[in-house]
Amino acid sequence: MVQSLKARMRAGEAVNGFWVELFSPTAAEVMSAAGYDCAMIDLEHGTADLSDAVSVMRAMRGSGCTPLVRIPENAAAWAKRVLDAGAAGVMIPAVNTAAEAQAAVAACHYPPRGLRGMAAPIVRAAGYGEDWRGYVEEIGHAVLVICQVETQQALDNVAEIAAVDGLDMIFVGPFDLSASLGYMGEPDHPDVRAAIAAVEAAAKAEGCLLGGIPTPERTPRDLYEAGYDLVLGEIDLVLLREGARLGAAALREAAGRR
């Protein structure tokens, strides 16, 4: 059996991933084959729906790259739908209290541990029911429940959030957190860095996995050295944007144009 992404991190492996914002199956296929450990399919900020996310997951199939999904809000219906569609983990944005974290965990697990609706005999995640009992057993161990800490309220409650049973990972949202603290666009401001350090300490104190993204002054290496288990680096849209800018600039220069 292939070891799950969660099991790999629990065993001490630092993993990586990229963000899916384009929702292009071709782009997702190319990137998932490049060697990333996982992809975070973004239904919070991405301009896509669940069927687009399924198309991306189909394109990734067989690559060894684990599909994770960030849902738009902390809602049991959203968690259920993306897990039924085949996500191996769910990222829940803006989790501000322990009660909200408990609700997120419950939404991602079948009874008796949680309240995820039981449709395993027909859903894509279970091979449309081909081995639904095996799926139910496996996903109970493998599902990765990720809560984002990205507000002042969450910062105030981070110790209680990190202590929630069944919460696998706290994921730092440095840009939203900086905005919430009054430093819009300054994720490396000393006050923001101090707040992030408090989140990191709380997660590690409770044995919670830690995830995040690079900032202008913190590289992926910096994050791994600080104890991060998951770093989501590249964004498919940004890679395309920056590659296109460089290509267009090179052609203009070759033609003697500015």
Spans of all domains in the chain:
5-254
Residue 1 has pLDDT above 60, yes or no: no
Residue 258 has pLDDT above 90, yes or no: no
Cα torsion 79, 158, 162, 160 to 10°: value is -100
Q: What is the C-alpha separation between 8 and 172, in angstroms, rounded?
A: 20
Q: Which residues contact residue 246 at a Cβ distance below 8 angstroms, ignoring those fewer than 6 apart?
A: none
Whether 189 sits among the annotated catalytic residues: the reply is no
pLDDT at 257: 83
- From 45, 109, 141, 189, active-site residue: 45
- pTM given for the model: 0.96
Report the top-level CATH class of 5-254. Answer: alpha beta
Residue 46 has pLDDT above 90, yes or no: no
User: How confident is the model over 194-244, as pLDDT tens digits?
Assistant: 999 999 999 999 999 999 999 999 999 999 999 999 999 999 999 999 999
If one counts every other C-beta atom within 10 angstroms of the C-beta of residue 170, the result is 27
Beta bridge partners of 67: 39
Percent of the chain with pLDDT over 70: 100
Contact 162, 202 (CB under 8 A): yes
